[in-house]
Amino acid sequence: MGIRIYRPTSNGRRNASVNDYAELTVEHPQKSLCVRIKKAGGKNNHGVTTCRFRGGGARRIYRIIDFKRNKDIPAVVETVEYDPNRNCFISLVKYEDGEKRYILSPQGLLVGNKIESGPVVEPKVGNAMPLSGIPVGVEIHNIEMTAGQGGKLVRGAGLSARLMAREGNWATVILPSGEMRMLRIECRATIGTLSNPDYQNIKIGKAGRWRHQGRRPHVRGKAMNPIAHPMGGGEGRSNGGRHPCSPTGVLAKGGKTRNPRKSSNKKIIRRRKSNRGLQLVL
């Protein structure tokens, strides 16, 4: 793939860049695998805002993705497509029995390639198999946390995890964040690194492109009135008068946000590093 930079005909063009989508093979999705999902605009079923600064944006059609990869017969890749609901590309595959499904497209997966899924398949790009059959040191993505549940981990553009070791019924995996955790060897994962790795290098350039994505302007708490935010109000330009917090008063700096009662916490061997851009050095 590549990144396209336009002539600086305006301030927005000067600072913006876009994906050239050279890998894509079709423009329109498979209609049988598309559903319409109504937008919530950051509000719950009672109409109360639970996620601020969301709303509007371009209309999207959701593509049904096969995260489980539980069909253990060969399939052929028919297309590589754009998905407005995620930052990596997707591929349409056709199984030998005629069924079609969408999967997350890894780097190097081309139209006409043959992929398989099952307990005993060749560990090549695009194939899905349990962690018990994947060679140690191989890069993987779309990893299940519970066998049969479907992939939950490592689903973003350009990401991959690495299988480090196996001992008994448990496998040790290093995630892109640097976190090292244990997973059951029955959990499935897909071989390879996800597509669209240059997504992180694209510059939005102007506020209008965020609005197209459904992101509304983010307003600082200290710029609000005191009735709207605990840090609002004051004579002149105040600095908030207290530690940074949410509109409901929850402290925003240094507090723990992960639920301590999560059953999966005890399977974490090493917490994720603070440097999110850290590369795995093995």
- Residue 141 belongs to a domain with what CATH number? 2.40.50.140
Distance CA 39, CA 97 (A): 35
pLDDT for residue 277 is more than 80: no
User: Is residue 139 a part of any domain in this protein?
Assistant: yes
* Per-residue confidence band for 273, with pLDDT thresholds at 50, 70 and 90: low
User: Is residue 148 a part of any domain in this protein?
Assistant: yes
> How many structural domains does the chain have?
1
* pLDDT at position 254: 85
User: Is residue 10 a part of any domain in this protein?
Assistant: no
User: Is residue 181 a part of any domain in this protein?
Assistant: yes
Which residue in 167, 192, 195 sits closest to 182, CA to CA? Answer: 167
* pLDDT at position 255: 78
Mean pLDDT (the chain, rounded):
93
User: Is residue 123 a part of any domain in this protein?
Assistant: yes
* pLDDT at position 1: 63
* pLDDT at position 264: 86
What SS3 state is found at 33? helix
Distance CA 193, CA 178 (A): 16
Global pTM reads 0.89
CB 176 within 8 A of CB 155: no
Average the pLDDT over 55-68 and give the result: 96
Average the pLDDT over 32-48 and give the result: 95
* pLDDT at position 137: 95
* pLDDT at position 69: 96
Q: Print the domain residue range for 24.
A: 20-200
* Per-residue confidence band for 223, with pLDDT thresholds at 50, 70 and 90: very high
* pLDDT at position 240: 92
Angle at 127 between CA 149 and CA 197, to 5 degrees: 90
Which tokens belong to 176?
Answer: 């892109």
Measured in degrees and rounded to the nearest 5, phi and psi for residue 43 equal -110, 150
Q: Could you report the per-residue pLDDT of 101-152, keeping only the tens digit for each?
A: 999 999 999 999 999 999 999 999 999 999 999 999 999 999 999 999 999 9
C-alpha distances out from residue 6 to 3, 11, 74, 82, Å? 10, 11, 42, 21
What SS3 state is found at 184? strand
User: Residue 111: in which H helix or E strand, if any?
Assistant: none
User: Is residue 43 a part of any domain in this protein?
Assistant: yes
* pLDDT at position 258: 83
Note the helical H segments in 17-127. none
pLDDT for residue 160 is more than 50: yes
